Amino acid sequence: MYDDLDTASGRLSGVSDSDTRSFASSMSSQTNSIDDYSFSSQSRLSDCTDDVEFEMRRLKQELKQTMDMYSSACKEAMTAKQRAMELQRWKAEEQKRSEDSQTVDASAIQFMEMEQDRIRAEALEKIAVLEAQKRMTQVERRKPSESFGHGPAMYRRYTIEEIEEATNMFSDSLKIG
């Protein structure tokens, strides 16, 4: 199999020098193309890495902006919720004040009505007392006129003869003290 091998030069004897050179040059061009491929591959790999890193930075920045917007939205929502709670608390207080005011107004009206009833009752009582006094005055005015003979008397009148007869002519035995 290796009969054609020239031991001194270490090459095949059936192959010429030009063949060897063309093989060597083809091998060297393959090596150069591999080196070119390796360089361009590294260049492409470097470009891809740069692109990936750029894309990662862009995505990180976008994520940060999104998170900032989300945080702002949450803060605004909390502020709005607090304002709504304050507004509801204020409404409840106003409603309570309104109810209290209505209760006070109703109580005041009821008190005024009771006071008016009391005043009316006092006025009626005074009128009744005045009418009673008026009647009593009229009755008292009638009594003296009746006692003077215009009506039934409160006492009986005796004549001197009736008194002498009843006392047995003022006898000493009938005297008291």
Q: How many CA atoms lie within 13 A of 171 on its CB side?
A: 6
What Cα–Cα distance (Å) separates residue 146 from each residue in 132, 152, 169? 21, 6, 32
In sequence order, which residues have a C-beta less than 8 Å from that of residue 153 and are 6 or more positions away? 146, 147
Write the DSSP symbol of residue 175: -
Range of the domain at 122: 5-174
* pTM of the predicted model as reported, rounded to 2 decimal places: 0.36
Residues 6+ apart with CB under 8 A from 13: 4, 5, 6
177 residues of the chain, pLDDT tens digit each: 455 545 555 444 555 555 555 555 555 555 555 555 555 666 777 788 888 999 999 999 999 999 999 999 999 999 999 999 999 999 999 999 999 999 989 999 999 999 999 999 999 999 999 999 999 998 888 775 555 555 555 678 899 999 999 888 888 888 886
Distance CA 177, CA 172 (A): 10
CB 8 within 8 A of CB 15: no
Q: What is the mean pLDDT of the chain?
A: 81
- Identify the pLDDT of residue 122: 96
104 token code pair:
């006070």
DSSP label of 13: T
- Return the pLDDT at 22: 58
For residues 14 and 20, the answer to whether their CB atoms sit within 8 Å is no
Q: What is the pLDDT of residue 176?
A: 82
H or E segment to which residue 11 belongs: strand 11-12
Q: Give pLDDT, residue 1.
A: 47
Count of domains for the chain: 1
